Structure 1
Amino acid sequence: MKILHIISSAAAGGAEVYARDLSIEMAKRGHDIFIVFLDRASEAGRDLSFENAFLKQLQKNNIKYGFIGQKARRNPIIGIFSLRHFVKSFNPDVVHSHLYYGAVFSLFLNGVKRVYTHHNIRLRANKSIYKLLDLRIDAYIGICDACKRLLEDVTKVPVHHIDNGVDESRIIKKSQYIENNPVKLLFIGRLSDQKNIGLLLEAASYVRGSDFLLMIAGEGALLPELKALSEKLGIASKVRFLGNVIDVKTLLNESDVFVMSSAWEGLPIAQIEATLAGLPVLVTNVGGCSEIVNNVGNGVVVNVDIGEYSVALEELVNDYSIRLKFHNNAIKNSWIYSITTSVDKHLSVYDSL
């Protein structure tokens, strides 16, 4: 099968990494894959070294790719004709968009099946856009139950639930879970309003008892503001801002607890990576975060509330026995979020169209 994926950029975002893993696994199974990127890293203000590493992985797996350019966000005509150019040269059976810009551009194609995956619990586009998409989209995919229900409220086209997955070859599972001092807490993600890192920092400032080190891996415009906040809260000596990290698997393996305090989410790839690595997690009850924890049994879910979050964080930092139990559950149950399971379900959807 010839499959063309459309994603925003070759960046460290969860949707982008997931689409890359899907593409690589599909290519390994003998499918012909082409990826169209909307933005270059330089246009989107993303890490250029990560883009280079991302593209090298595609090349290694014989996956072709091309770029539309950020101008298409302001002028859809550019996106429509650029995508038609790629489709004419590649001749795919399925065009699968992972952002609504790509889904809109795909409406003007002929002779292909169209799939759109929504990667967040917020629509971001006006609901009327989905009436337009319904004219030619053949199937929608929601990455968690909450996302599926969200889509079902705005479309009459079939919506499939396929959980995000992670390529386990990118993960080093913790073979032993020892008691460390300080306890290493890890956040991975973009430094944005969505990730609500201010709540995490404030909660950390209330933690008493065992020593801890909070490592924040990611890039974003809020970095200066978050550094200033850690200073103001008096915890700068316990916080490390690591920037964009390419060797995520080693960082996960060397950590003790994965923490995330998002205001909204879809089904976070970073949380799945941490779960497959065998880490206990502390997450907020947004999007599909609780679905992962409930299915695997490896952590604590709290509301987006500083009081609840700080109490749960202090308990995890101070109670090794709870962390060990969550680790064991993660090792035992996390297989359901493997990329192979996700690819099986995607191919089944494509075949049904």
Structure 2
Amino acid sequence: MKVLIEVDYRIMTNVAFIITKPIVGGAQTWIKDQIRLLDGNINPIIITSEPGWLSESCPDVKSYFVKGINKRLSVKTIFDVKTILKCNKIQTVVASSANAGLYARLVKIFYKCRVVYVSHGWSCIYNGGRFKKLYINIEKILSYLSDVVLCVSKKDTENALKVIGIKSSKIVTIRNSVFIKDEKKKKENNTFKFLFLGRLTYPKRVDLLIDAFEKIKDVELVIVGDGPQRSKCSSENISFLGEIKSFNDFKNYDAFILLSDSEGLPMSALEAASSGLPLILSNVGGCSELISNNGILVENNIDEIIKAILHVRDNSSLYYKNALEMKDAFNIENDKELYRSLYI
């Protein structure tokens, strides 16, 4: 693995965070947290395809919009990004998401800078479909243009090494983390409330979530998010709040549940864990790295999911105690020096 070295943090570094879409999402939240964490150490800019949640959430950060980032490979887009980097004298580019990662690394051919590519779960593996092998080979080739491939979980690191074939000398692993949230409030009624927070689209398994809670009448599920599957979010004990930008109301719930066919290391689950909520997560990607005695990992079948929901509800005091004891392990402040060494 790559060894991080000591650097002089008094020197401000010009850093560009580039991402394909500015929508509410885990990778976008990660960028927002990075900018907040390293305030005073970096001069950041944001490059994305259009105005949206990310640029709105960072009003003091200069944002640039390049529509081509969200489309197929374009030589014009490469040089549009290069122009932005050159004008801002960018020294380090931090790229999140596949398209943004493609352009960031191709730009390196024409503009001298340090490129950090952040995996956030390898989409070339999980979402490649019939072109999976092709996308994996492309990712391997692009890794040679990366100064660092940052993996956000041990599972991502394992896939980078064993599935994609990225050299270990390129890889740095820093598990995702967040700013600690407020602890949940004392219960005011007898209804046990679960929270789901995420995009209502594949690979999230909202269908399984709905099916499970429809069979359990003495618990409540609150769904926060939006997407193609929102029409399914209706049942007697299920409430749908829609998309809430910068959601931070974890303290009013008793447990968090996220079902998915693939994940990197889900930011919504990290935020819930950092507020001291017990977790129920699908056993995919890096989710196992968030679960110890603070929750349950499940396979994506109805019987196992229902069993886990009932077990967490019936043993809530124990799970809550364990979750509180673990919450500080998810504090992004613990990794500040690692990120500074990575960018500066």
TM-score by length of 1: 0.84
**2:119 aligns to what?**
118
Say whether residues 1:128 and 2:137 are aligned partners: yes
* CA deviations over 1:187-209 (Å, ceiling 9, x no partner): 0000012111111111112226x
Equivalent of 1:268 in 262, 266, 269: 266
Contact 1:191 1:222 in 2 (8 A): yes
Cα distance, 1:116 vs structure 2: 0.4
Cα distance, 1:177 vs structure 2: 4.2
Contact 1:121 1:264 in 2 (8 A): no
Is the deviation greater in 276-285 or in 30-39? Answer: 30-39
Equivalent of 2:161 in 130, 138, 152: 152
Task: Provide the C-alpha distance between the structure 2 equivalents of 1:293 and 1:29, rounded to a whole number of angstroms.
Answer: 33
**1:332 aligns to what?**
325
Structure 1: tracts of 5 or more residues without a match:
42-50, 231-235
**2:275 aligns to what?**
277
Equivalent of 1:186 in 167, 177, 195: 195
Equivalent of 1:315 in 303, 307, 311: 311
Identity of aligned residues (%): 25
Report matched runs for 1:22-171 at 5 Å.
Answer: 22-26=34-38, 28-41=39-52, 51=53, 54-59=54-59, 62-70=60-68, 72-106=70-104, 107-109=106-108, 110-123=111-124, 124=127, 126-153=135-162, 154=164, 155-156=166-167, 158-168=170-180, 171=181
Equivalent of 1:219 in 226, 230, 233: 226
CA change 1:223–1:57 in 2 (3 A) is: closer
**1:304 aligns to what?**
300
Contact 2:143 2:149 in 1 (8 A): no
> 2:24 aligns to what SS in structure 1?
coil
Task: Provide the C-alpha distance between the structure 2 equivalents of 1:249 and 1:200, rounded to a whole number of angstroms.
Answer: 22
* CA deviations over 1:132-175 (Å, ceiling 9, x no partner): 3133211101110111111113212521111112123xx2222x
Contact 2:26 2:268 in 1 (8 A): yes
Task: Provide the C-alpha distance between the structure 2 equivalents of 1:219 and 1:35, rounded to a whole number of angstroms.
Answer: 24
Contact 2:312 2:319 in 1 (8 A): no
**1:20 aligns to what?**
32
> 1:65 aligns to what SS in structure 2?
strand
Task: Provide the C-alpha distance between the structure 2 equivalents of 1:117 and 1:37, rounded to a whole number of angstroms.
Answer: 15
What amino acid maps onto 2:308 in structure 1?
A
Task: Provide the C-alpha distance between the structure 1 equivalents of 2:74 and 2:317, rounded to a whole number of angstroms.
Answer: 51
Contact 1:278 1:331 in 2 (8 A): yes
Contact 2:213 2:237 in 1 (8 A): no
* CA deviations over 1:180-230 (Å, ceiling 9, x no partner): 42111110000012111111111112226xx22211100101212x14xx4
Contact 2:48 2:69 in 1 (8 A): no
**2:242 aligns to what?**
243
> 2:22 aligns to what SS in structure 1?
coil
**1:173 aligns to what?**
183
What amino acid maps onto 1:172 in structure 2?
D
> 1:222 aligns to what SS in structure 2?
helix
Is the deviation greater in 1-10 or in 100-109? Answer: 100-109
Task: Provide the C-alpha distance between the structure 2 equivalents of 1:282 and 1:71, rounded to a whole number of angstroms.
Answer: 35
> 1:111 aligns to what SS in structure 2?
coil
Task: Provide the C-alpha distance between the structure 2 equivalents of 1:5 and 1:247, rounded to a whole number of angstroms.
Answer: 19
CA change 1:139–1:253 in 2 (3 A) is: same
> 2:35 aligns to what SS in structure 1?
helix
**1:233 aligns to what?**
none
Alignment RMSD: 2.0
Cα distance, 1:56 vs structure 2: 4.2
TM-score by length of 2: 0.86
CA change 1:116–1:39 in 2 (3 A) is: same
Task: Provide the C-alpha distance between the structure 2 equivalents of 1:271 and 1:21, rounded to a whole number of angstroms.
Answer: 15
Task: Provide the C-alpha distance between the structure 1 equivalents of 2:332 and 2:18, rounded to a whole number of angstroms.
Answer: 18
Between Structure 1 and Structure 2, which shows a larger proportion of helix residues? 1
> 1:237 aligns to what SS in structure 2?
coil
> 2:244 aligns to what SS in structure 1?
coil
> 1:2 aligns to what SS in structure 2?
strand
Task: Provide the C-alpha distance between the structure 2 equivalents of 1:288 and 1:131, rounded to a whole number of angstroms.
Answer: 21
- The number of residue pairs the alignment matches comes to 318
**1:46 aligns to what?**
none
